[in-house]
Amino acid sequence: MSASVAISGAIRTPLGEFWRRFRRQRLAMFAGLVIVALAASAVFAPWIAPFDPSAPDYDNLLDGPTLLHLCGTDAYGRDILSRIIWGGRVSLTVGFLSVALGGVAGVVIGLVSGFFGGLIDSVLMRLMDVLLAFPGIVLAIGVVAVLGPGIDNVIYAIAVFSVPVFARLVRGNTLSLKQTLYVQAARSIGVGKSALMLRHILPGAMPGVIVYASLRLGTSILTAASLSFIGLGARPPSPEWGAMLSDGRSFLGVADHLTLFPGIAIFVTVLAFNVLGDGLRDALDQKLR
């Protein structure tokens, strides 16, 4: 009886093994808690934010941090803290949706390209090379310039320049995995191409996709803020962090809190996603063990 208990206790599921390794990454665990807190504040913004983010208060213009307004007010008397909380909803939505769209498209392209090879691989990868030839922010600006400014178009723009890297990553993993013994064995017993790709190759490629997606979230949020900063993203009076930085730059030296607190929000969020991505990489990549 004791032997069977010992054997059952020694059996570890893949998810349990991942959690065992990930929880050793204390900094990554803390970054994950920060991201959860940011996501929770974004979801519950209507109840957490102390003021209406768009309501002006002309009696408190450009006030510095006080007990009433912990992060001060802007040129219209709007509460900066409330706008940062609501802006988190915008920035996180842009980050998650753009990475999800770009990741799905990139995974499909990379999986098909790596599995079939030949002419399909050549055509798809040359298209990806064309997209990779443009710096990410320049490509995003070009897409937004064609589609027009606005949050929806920012999501599409960031998704477009996320596709090539996802595709390259999945293609490389697919080329490696389709030569493994278990894939060759499945092919030899007559498993169809769709089943080979979805059930045998894709699960092996997903750890790298998850790690890169977590890192890409920070980049996407930063890119969205950059587009809003130059007037191609969120439109006034939307409380978006990049737009808040753009509004506050006219008051540098007079009311520095207008740029300080949105800048801290962007810095903390991007840093948290980068640290979380490093922790996920260490936990998922068995070569680093």
Q: What is the pLDDT of residues 232-252, one digit of tens each?
A: 887 777 888 888 888 888 888
For residue 176, pLDDT over 80 is answered with yes
For residue 82, pLDDT over 70 is answered with yes
Q: Quote the CA–CA distance of 286 and 252 in Å, as a whole number.
A: 48
Q: Has residue 86 been placed in a domain? A: no
Structural domain count, the chain:
1
Higher pLDDT, 234 or 222: 222
Q: Has residue 82 been placed in a domain? A: no
Q: Has residue 213 been placed in a domain? A: yes
User: In CATH, what number is assigned to the domain containing residue 197?
Assistant: 1.10.3720.10
pLDDT band at residue 144 using 50, 70 and 90 as cut-offs: confident
Q: Has residue 66 been placed in a domain? A: no
Tell me the one-letter amino acid at 252.
Answer: L
Q: What percent of the chain has pLDDT over 90?
A: 21
Q: Has residue 242 been placed in a domain? A: yes
Q: Has residue 169 been placed in a domain? A: yes
Output the six-digit token pair for 8. 């059952």
**Segments forming the whole domain that contains residue 35:** 14-57+93-288
- Rg, the chain, Cα only: 23
Q: What is the pLDDT of residues 95-134, one digit of tens each?
A: 999 999 999 999 999 999 988 888 888 999 999 988 888 7
Q: Quote the CA–CA distance of 134 and 140 in Å, as a whole number.
A: 9
Q: Has residue 3 been placed in a domain? A: no
pLDDT band at residue 287 using 50, 70 and 90 as cut-offs: very low
Q: Has residue 187 been placed in a domain? A: yes
For residue 14, pLDDT over 60 is answered with yes
Q: Which residues contact 154 (CB under 8 A, 6 or more apart)?
A: 94, 98, 140, 144, 224, 227, 228, 232, 233, 234
Determine the pLDDT at residue 288.
Answer: 43
